[in-house]
Amino acid sequence: MADQVKTIGILTSGGDAPGMNAAIRAVVRRSIGNGLTVKGIERGYQGLLNEEIIDMDKHSVSDIIERGGTILGTARCTEFRTPEGQQKGAEICRKHHIDGIVVIGGDGSYRGAQALARLGINTIGLPGTIDLDIACTDYTIGFDTAINTAMQAIDKVRDTSSSHERCSIIEVMGRNAGYIALWCGIANGAEDILLPEKYDYNEQKIIDNIINNRKHGKKHHIIINAEGIGHSTSMARRIEAATGIETRATILGYMQRGGSPTCKDRFYASIMGAYAADIIAAGKTNRVVGYRDGKFQDFDIEEALAMEKTIPEYQFEISQALSR
């Protein structure tokens, strides 16, 4: 089995995430160490379809472990969502003698990986997203950096919010997933935490909470709002009108996706990247790598994509309990 794969391709796709470079470095160096040839595919699936394919050696990944973003570039590619695009991608892999491909990306990128796997290209997925919304893993590359970046920014907003005795709505990333909001909500001691998976759109409850807290002497009121709920600016206007308390919205935006990865993201991404290289060398096919139950593991790509991820009830309950 092990001698079947001789050349692998590697690409990053979808939203970039700090730690992707550490993962690329690990895949490249470990695969070369395992006797394979490695080709980098630039700009995700778009680059695959455009045949933006480069040779990589151990030096191609020097001085990147501390850098945010991805040296391979990333993209969204509409064409790759179509059966024709996917077929073309598989043919390009064969043309370039790429008999295994490592895809580092989020849940959307995993769908693309699944399509390639179904077309006979051995595909290994690595979870690269700041959103933590991949079901088979408790950890995704970039989440730790993103929550630490957001947490520090929220602490700063809290300082000025307290000084001015204001209410602050701080919007964090997560179009469909509330994990960044949940973690920062707890870590920043927010008074209200709004998650796309849980929010009941009862704004009156928030308003009552603000008024009640003010009566009990609270100088600020921090609301962490996930991007999936959005509308932070108009929410701030309505809350100010209803409470009479100055209310400001801060949208943290893309700063959460950039920056030098934390030690945890570098470490996990390195282990996961090497793990991907090793399972390819061992002859495994169509797997995704995860960290679950305290260990690094791999799952069948079809089974992994059939899993569902939900906000842990106990964590959500505690986030509410501690905010009062």
Nearest CB to ligand F6P, comparing residues 131 and 298 = 131
Asked if 109 touches ligand ADP (CB under 6 A), the answer is yes
Q: Closest Cα to residue 131, out of 122, 120, 123, 140?
A: 140
Among 166, 257, 266, 284, binds ligand F6P (CB under 6 A): 257
Q: Which does 175 bind (CB under 5 to 8 A by kind): ligand F6P, ligand ADP, none?
A: ligand F6P
Nearest CB to ligand ADP, comparing residues 78 and 204 = 78
Asked if 102 touches ligand F6P (CB under 6 A), the answer is no
Active-site residue (options: 131, 133, 265, 298): 131
* Per-residue 3-state assignment (H helix, E strand, C coil) for 205-266: HHHHHHHHHHHCCCCCEEEEEECCCCCHHHHHHHHHHHHCCCEEEEECHHHHHCCCCCHHHH
Q: Which does 264 bind (CB under 5 to 8 A by kind): ligand F6P, ligand ADP, none?
A: none
Asked if 175 touches ligand F6P (CB under 6 A), the answer is yes
Q: Which does 286 bind (CB under 5 to 8 A by kind): ligand ADP, ligand F6P, none?
A: none
Asked if 173 touches ligand F6P (CB under 6 A), the answer is yes
Is 99 one of the annotated active-site residues of the chain?
no
Q: Which residues of 39-54 are buried (b: 16+ CB within 10 A; e: fewer)?
A: bbbbbbbbbbbeebbe
Give the Å distances, CA to CA, from 293 to 22, 61, 112, 240, 253: 23, 31, 27, 44, 31
Q: 300 - beta bridge partners?
A: 287
290 and 127 in contact (C-beta within 8 Å)?
A: yes
Would you state the structure tokens that stand for residue 10, as one six-digit string? 């590697």
The three-class DSSP label of residue 157 is helix
Nearest CB to ligand ADP, comparing residues 111 and 238 = 111
Asked if 13 touches ligand ADP (CB under 6 A), the answer is yes
For ligand ADP, the nearest residue by Cβ is: 108
Give the Å distances, CA to CA, from 296 to 39, 240, 286: 25, 47, 16
Q: Which stretch binds ligand F6P (CB under 6 A): 87-95, 116-124, 129-137, 315-323?
A: 129-137
Asked if 43 touches ligand F6P (CB under 6 A), the answer is no
For ligand F6P, the nearest residue by Cβ is: 15
Asked if 76 touches ligand ADP (CB under 6 A), the answer is yes
Q: How many residues does the chain have?
A: 324
**Which residues are the active-site residues?**
131
